[in-house]
Structure 1
Amino acid sequence: MAHLDGSHHVTLSVGPAQEDVDFHVGTLGMRFIKRTVLFDGSTPIYHLYYSNAAGDPSAVVTTFPFRQAGLLGRRGTNQAREVLLAVPAGSLDYWSARLTERHVDVADAEVLGRRRLLLRHPCGVEYALVGVDGDPRAGWTGGGVPAEHAIHGIHGVGVHVANPENMVEFTAQHMFAKDLVEEGDRVALQIGAADRGGAVELVVNRTDDPGTWRYGEGTIHHFAWNAETLQNQDELKFAIEGAGYTDISELKDRKYFKSVYVRSPGGALFELAVTHPEGGWTCDESPKELGSAFQLPEQFESRRVELLDQLEPIDI
């Protein structure tokens, strides 16, 4: 039976590569697990990966640093807007102090009956640290954040929409969303288990202009859901296409996972991802060595020297 096991990863278009590393590794204390390049197009752009201790599906944030290419995005409605990360419920005071010490503006909020901290990536993308209980995913402590405070992984995604009805229908019928809750201008649903990063929060936004869907600094490009197996992924794609959502891609091999992309009726680009059965993150590096070398897919290996000359140097 077709299903989704929560989230897989979220991918953003950000600014300078070093600024992005400093934010995710230095400020948030996440584990740097992969440095490679964007597969699509001919312009060399880094693809950087950050995660929790184990690199769990549902715990990976990936980024395309687009400052070097000079391509800007526009945040708006009908677009994924908020990266929601899960932290231990009792750690928010620690995080408020840590962020403030690092000159990150942070605000305290209660949303859907749960405390969270609101902040922004240096490029402007909105983040929230959501306090949760009972999350078994292990945070990374190598970045200086104690285990009792470290980020578990993804909590979910906030999608801004002019009207939420079509997205509620789409996620409920084709992504198995359940447990609908409404609070003010926010409609929340859950895809998969609560500790797998599957929260979807639809924020009614009729004020902003539509945001950009292409690559561009300062925006979320896509949010990936864990389809677990290639057979399940194919069944999901078949059902979504059969319902008339034909803005959906063919299977793409991203080396570490295999992907199908679909434009949701709320504007957010969703990905149905399956970790590559031949190794995932460890197909080219051991678990202890993750992120230590510049990895390239075979089709770009002949351009290694050229790409290294063109891409900005980064210090992890």
Structure 2
Amino acid sequence: MTYIQGSHHVTLSVGHAQEDVDFHTQVLGMRFIKKTVLYDGSTPVYHLYYSNADGDPSSVVTTFPWAQHGISGKRGTNQAREVLLSVPEESLDFWYKRLTEHQVPVANAEVFGRRRLTFEHPCGIEYALVGNTGDPRLPYAGNGVPQEFGVHGIHGTAIHAHTPERTVEFAEQVFFAQGGIVEDGDRAAFQIGNDKFGNHVEVIGNRRDDQGTWSYGAGTYHHFAWNLGSLENQQQVKFEIEGAGYTDISELKDRTYFKSVYCRMPGGALFELAVTHAEGGWDCDESPEELGRHFMLPPQFEDKRSEIMAQLEPITVDN
């Protein structure tokens, strides 16, 4: 039996590293759990990881800071656009006040009959805090955010598409959409996989904007990753996607902490099919208590540690 468990992580191309660290830890109160580098290509770029208290796969936001290299992207249609995070429903007033105090412009919105707060990352990527009741994932308590009000983890993703019906069709036919499709104005929503929380997908019909960029570049959402549970299941899901004719899918890539394949949806968003394998996990190279305290490199880059460090802007993490 093939399946998708739920979400695994979200990865963004952001601006400068320090402003990204400060936004996720000092403003959103998330836990800093990993400092490493982009595994693809030869340009040295940080890969930074943030999570809830336990580092649940469905809680992790990761970023590539590109501003140091002068590489910018363009937000538009046919790409994932909005980072949706889950917080306790009763915390929204706290968050409105906190974001305002940190000089982050914030607005109330009602989507699918539920309140959420909308705001932006310093590089312009759109975020929303969605209030949920009964989310069991444990928030991190830090930097002025009490645990009872903290970020549980990912709520989901919002994708902008010129032809949103193609994205919905893909989800229903081959990507394990659950619970039917609900609509609110120009948004359609469904859940992917078996988890109750963290796996909401919203698809927004957007024919106003130009095509957004799909390459790395500051200010853009790179991909949304799903948790496939096991390598055997991951391979079977890959076969089924290819068998349905969606052949824009990569071979297996080893990211140390998980192993992944990547699939471009017909609506343009990039999905990752990830598995935290037996030798992986956030604590495979750092103890659970020390997560994020060291600069971790994959073995193929270790002999260039000094060279890589000299090319990256230093960052300070108070977490």
* Cα deviations by residue, 1:47-104 (Å, 9 ceiling, x for unpaired): 0000000100110000000001111000000000000000000000000000000000
The CA distance in 2 between the partners of 1:127 and 1:71, in whole Å, is 21
* Offset from partner CA, 1:154-185 (integer Å, 9 cap, x none): 00000001121111111112221122101100
User: 1:52 is matched with which residue?
Assistant: 52
Aligned to 2:221: 220
Structure 1 residue 194, shift from structure 2 partner: 5.3
Q: Mind listing any 5+ residue stretches in structure 2 that lack a counterpart? A: none
Cα distance in 1, alignment partners of residues 141 and 4 from structure 2: 29
Matched, 1:36 2:33: no
**What is the CA–CA distance in structure 1 between the aligned matches of 2:297 and 2:172, rounded to whole Å?**
37
Offset from partner CA, 1:111-150 (integer Å, 9 cap, x none): 0011000000000000000000000000000333111100
Q: Which residue of 2 aligns with 1:289?
A: 290
2:259·2:276 contact (CA, 8 Å) conserved in 1? yes
303-312 vs 271-280, greater mean Cα deviation? 271-280
Q: Give the equivalent residue in structure 2 for 1:314.
A: 315
Superposition pairs for residues 154-165 of structure 1, below 5 Å? 154-165=154-165
Match in the other structure for 1:130 = 130
1:303 alignment counterpart: 304
Q: Distance in 1 between matches of 2:195 and 2:185?
A: 22
Deviation, 1:196, is 3.5
Q: Is the 8 A contact 2:231 2:277 kept in 1?
A: no
Aligned equivalents of 1:70 and 1:265: distance in 2?
30
* Cα deviation 1:232-261 (Å, max 9, x = unaligned): 000000000111111100000000000000
Instruction: Give the corresponding residue for 1:204.
Output: 205
What residue in structure 2 maps to residue 8 of structure 1?
A: 8
C-alpha separation in 2, matches of 1:194 and 1:121: 27
TM-score, length basis structure 2: 0.98
Aligned to 1:142: 142
Question: Aligned in 2, Cα 1:194/1:133: closer, same or farther, shift over 3 Å?
Answer: farther
Confirm or deny: 8 A CA contact 2:263 2:270 kept in the other structure: yes
- AA aligned to 1:47 is H
Q: Which amino acid aligns with 2:302?
A: E
Q: Secondary structure at the match of 1:236?
A: helix
Please show how residues 149-298 of structure 1 align to structure 2 within 5 Å.
149-179=149-179, 180-193=181-194, 195-298=196-299
**8 Å Cα contact 2:47/2:65 also seen in 1:** yes
Aligned pairs, how many?
316
Distance 2:222 2:276 in 1: 19
CA contact (8 A) 1:100 1:106 kept: yes
Contact 1:31 1:143 in 2 (8 A): no
**Aligned partners of 2:161 and 2:207 also within 8 Å:** yes
Which residue type is aligned with residue 229 of structure 1? S
Is the contact made by 1:224 and 1:270 (CA closer than 8 Å) also made in structure 2?
yes
Question: In structure 2, what is the Cα distance between the partners aligned to 1:131 and 1:311?
Answer: 37
- Counterpart Cα distance in 2 of 1:113 and 1:222: 27
Distance 1:277 1:71 in 2: 35
Alignment partners' CA distance in 1, 2:278 and 2:201: 27
**In the TM superposition, what is the alpha-carbon distance from 1:193 to its structure 2 partner?**
4.2
The 4+ residue runs of structure 1 with deviation greater than 2 A are 192-196
Say which SS state the counterpart of residue 156 (structure 1) adopts.
strand
C-alpha contact 1:136 1:195 (8 A) present in aligned 2: no
TM-score, normalized by length of structure 1?
0.99
In 1, distance between residues paired with 2:250 and 2:197? Answer: 24
Contact 1:155 1:195 in 2 (8 A): no
Contact 2:230–2:277 (8 Å) recurs in 1: no
